[in-house]
Every structure is written in structure tokens, then in C-alpha cells.
């Protein structure tokens, strides 16, 4: 089953703060930059 953009957005922990600390972890959603990029790639595939 292919996920929709709405499914991906709903599952995202993003709160729109998008600021990375010195370890490349977002202080808003607590994800590493690699995870954030991958989430963006999933959205583009749809």
C-alpha cells in the first residue's frame, strides 16, 4: 500500500521549528538531518 502525502505529514513529528544543533539534530522534532531529508524525499515520490 502506497502512503499518501497526508499520511506522511500526519506521521511527521515536525513542529516547524527547523533548527539544527551541533550534532545535526533538529531542536523542534528531534530528528537527525538524514531523517528529515528522507521524509522530504518520500513526499517528492508521491
36: left (phi over 0), alpha (psi -120 to 50) or beta: alpha
**Which three cell numbers mark 6?**
497526508
How confident is the model at residue 38, as a pLDDT?
83
The pTM assigned to this predicted structure is 0.63
- Kindly report, residue by residue over 17-27, the tens digit of the pLDDT: 889 999 999 99
Residue 30: all three cell numbers together:
528531534
Chain-centre distance for alpha carbon 25: 11
16: alpha, beta or left? (left if phi > 0; alpha if psi -120 to 50): left
List the beta bridge partners of residue 32: 25
Amino acid at each position: 500500500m502506497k502512503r499518501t502525502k497526508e499520511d506522511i505529514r500526519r506521521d511527521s513529528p515536525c513542529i516547524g521549528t527547523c533548527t539544527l544543533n551541533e550534532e545535526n539534530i533538529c531542536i523542534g522534532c528531534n530528528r537527525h538531518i538524514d531523517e528529515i531529508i528522507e521524509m522530504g524525499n518520500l513526499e517528492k515520490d508521491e
